[in-house]
Copies of this chain bind each other. A is one copy, B any other.
């Protein structure tokens, strides 16, 4: 009997500004990876070509051919048609109706699956990271927005055609600021990295944050997660207060989710959490524990993500394997 030629999985992380193709062996050890800029504004055909080129580059680095591929998993910004494998609309990329699954299957002659990026990242943490093997995992990733995901008994909870768990749009303030979704008071309108940066810029403008002023000024495009962390470590109490308040809002929304889904582990990830893990996880933990039914507090772990930038690619590759690749 001939040994199967399929030895590797591709995990792909399609982000708003950059993309990454990673090659994993059968045990999900990273063999090689390539990064590229997404350049969504160049259009979807350029984007698809860029994705294929990045995958081919990573395969070259790993020394494998298309016949070695068992499957490809891609974590994408939504909304998606999960069953057909189509990106319906990616506002950050400016793309509509990208038939990613069929395009990749045609090019690489192996099965491909797509998943929401936060779902893939949380699945990665469930399979290989901070929530390994937990019965029910809630993932929360504050970034430009705030993404959420739930892995329940080994499977991603999903909507009828696309992803669900939009924790960024749980209402935390009756009369809050306007959210990108058009409603008011959504969690991400008060607690995303973007909301925090905007509040921080105002604090700089008012002269309350001298360290941040010297690092970034009042342009929110310059106020990134790492900059916020430096400002707080440098002694900007106003910035620390803003970040703590955001973390409490996240904790408040997370408490609602705990009362609904009783997860065993909450994983917090993304740039802001990576830059300030103790401060944010600590504040979220305190707020969650104050807001949940006592029965759900028993055994609940609230932890920072472990896999960093590899979570989405790892999770997507593992999902491709879970959904059945080429023998």
Contacts and interface: CB of A to CB of B under 8 A. Distances in A.
Nearest to A296: B159
Interface residues of A, number: 38
B160 A256 contact: no
Contact of A260 (B136, B252, B260, B292): B260
Contacts of A252: 171
B291 A183 contact: yes
Interface string A117-158: 000000000000000000110000000000010101000011
B296 A164 contact: yes
A181 interface: yes
Which one of A157, A173, A260 has the greatest number of beta carbons of chain B within 10 Å?
A260
Contact of A295 (B79, B170, B290): B79
Interface string A243-286: 00000000010011101111010000000000000000000000
Contacts of A255: 171
A174 to B, nearest CB: 7
Nearest to A261: B164
A300 to B, nearest CB: 9
B262 A170 contact: no
A160 B292 CA distance: 15
A104 interface: no
B295 A162 contact: yes
A260 B164 contact: yes
A166 interface: yes
B165 A260 contact: yes
A167 interface: yes
A187 to B, nearest CB: 10
B293 A166 contact: yes
Contacts of A8: none
A193 interface: no
A106 to B, nearest CB: 28
Contacts of A101: none
B171 A174 contact: no
A165 B181 CA distance: 25
Contacts of A79: 295
B291 A171 contact: yes
A167 B259 CA distance: 7
18 contacts: A136-B160, A157-B261, A159-B261, A159-B262, A159-B295, A160-B262, A160-B299, A164-B296, A165-B261, A166-B259, A166-B293, A169-B292, A170-B259, A171-B252, A171-B255, A171-B291, A256-B256, A260-B261
Interface of A: 79, 135-136, 148, 150, 152, 157-160, 162, 164-167, 169-171, 173-174, 181, 183, 252, 255-257, 259-262, 264, 290-293, 295-296, 299
